[in-house]
Amino acid sequence: MNKKQAALIALVLISIVAILHTLVHLDLVSIPGAGLAVSRWLAIASIIWFAIKKRSLTTWILVSMVVGAEVGHDWPGVAVNFQVMSKIFLSMIKTIIAPLLFGTLVVGIAGHSDIKQVGRMGWKSLLYFEIVTTIALFIGLAAINISQAGVGINMPPNALHEKLPETKPQNWQDVVLHVFPENIAKSIYHGDILPIVVFSVIFGISLLLVKEKFRGPMLSFCESLSEVMFKFTNIVMYYAPIGVGAAIAFTVGHGGLAVLGNLLQLLATLYVALLAFMLIVFVPVALIIKLPIGRFIREISEPVSIAFATTSSESALPKAMEAMERMGVPRKVIAFVMPTGYSFNLDGSTLYLALASIFVAQAAGHPLSWGQQILMVFTLMLTSKGVAGVPRATLVIILGTVHSFDLPTWPVFLILGIDELMDMARTSVNVIGNCLATAVIGRWEGEVDFTKLPPETKA
């Protein structure tokens, strides 16, 4: 049996299962729950067989998400114990981030002896990031005003007695101070990407300014370090299907598949808004720089699927960097733009912040005027920067915004109830946005011509 035959069998079985569930839902037929479960597992078995035939890590990751969702649905009591396996994967990925960023950034700066290019990439990146994230904020604002997802919610009776995790709203001084590392070891320990980037950039510039006899050995070390960490990533990625499947199983087992009423409406609003954002912004940008969209989607499918399942942009960073290198973008551009984008170009998260903040006002019965909403957007333009390095980042920003506009905090609990499902979407868009940003800056710098790409390799 070849790949096409395996895919056809999987498609037929999935279609049969979907039809059976639809008929049962409409009360047109009666099938025991055990029978439906068996039908689902037969369909999953066919998907697994297809993955065996295809022999692709990306396919295995997507299959593991389906298996994890089914395990979480059928055996939630067991699935909630799978979190440790997903945490192992995240822990291993986090060990890669700091040495990989340090090695690639230092080589990118000191290895090319062009300090002016670093400055050019810096202002070009920040300009692009600011334009795109501002559009994301306004799309989020428009989406929640159209859907009115928070209107009509009754305050839960125990809301006033709830306590949210302790957080501290950020002001602009906190954002600026967070950029600069007081202790590089502390930044590595906490996984703060932006301070690591700043340290690595200054280190690379310093290395560029010393004599060749001092620069050579350190440059060779950093080049070897980055190559080793890419191989390290490849080894860790063999565990990705298990880690991703476990993450999905835990999420489904812990929160279930069903979301009702306003929460479902909020969830749908976010997904539609993110899709609209990609169509309105990402597609035109890709066409302007002549990026082959089909090839781009295939190359980034693996890091995006990892980000979707783990709700962690960091877990997708090494694979995203590799994907863009296969797209022809030089490593020196990727090493500078992508890590910087993780703090300044979180398109999905910024759209979500605007949407969630207005949802809180709607749920609380405190409608905001258009002037107040515009003011809120400009506030978020500042406070959302540097968000990646803050624990419970979006929660901190939402609570800070809510406090600034004298809104109650109890609606935030409703958001937290489905935050995992929302985080999957916004994190995926964050990764797509940063991959596209590296392509934009690479093209802007004249470092890559997407009409002359190297041959496509198998994922």
Give the integer Cα–Cα distance in Å for 119 and 441: 12
* pLDDT of 254 strictly over 70: no
Give the dihedral sign, CA 307/416/340/434. positive
pLDDT tens track for 84-115:
887 787 778 778 778 877 887 787 777 655 66
Percent of the chain residues past pLDDT 70, beyond the cut: 74
pTM of the model: 0.65
Could you report the per-residue pLDDT of 302-351, keeping only the tens digit for each?
889 888 877 777 778 888 988 999 998 988 888 888 877 876 788 888 89
C-alpha closest to that of 346 among 438, 436, 433: 433
Distance CA 278, CA 125 (A): 19
Please give the pLDDT value at position 459: 45
More reliable by pLDDT, 202 or 409? 202
As a CATH number, domain 82-452 is 1.10.3860.10
Are the C-beta atoms of residues 351 and 137 closer than 8 Å to each other? yes
Torsion of CA 290, 294, 297, 302, to 10 degrees: -130
DSSP annotation of 229 reads H
The span from the CA of 331 to the CA of 325, in Å, is 6
Q: How many CB atoms lie within 10 A of CB 342?
A: 23
Supply the mean pLDDT for the chain: 77
Q: Pick 438 or 374 by higher pLDDT.
A: 438
Tokens of 15: 């279609």
- Give the separation between CA 384 and CA 267, rounded to whole angstroms: 21
* 441 Cα distance to chain centroid: 20
Q: What is the pLDDT of residue 132?
A: 92
Helix extents (H) in 311-346: 313-326, 331-344
Contact 14, 43 (CB under 8 A): yes
Confidence band for 395, pLDDT divided at 50, 70 and 90: low
The residue among 364 and 271 whose pLDDT is bigger is 271
**Nearest CA to 368 among 152, 139, 145, 160?**
145
Q: Amino acid identity of 120?
A: R
What is the distance between the alpha carbons of residues 152 and 365, in angstroms, rounded to a whole number?
Answer: 8
Helix residue ranges, H only, 278-392? 283-288, 293-310, 313-326, 331-344, 347-363, 370-383
Cα 377 from Cα 383, distance rounded (Å):
10
Q: Under DSSP, is residue 168 helix (H, G, I), strand (E, B) or coil?
A: coil
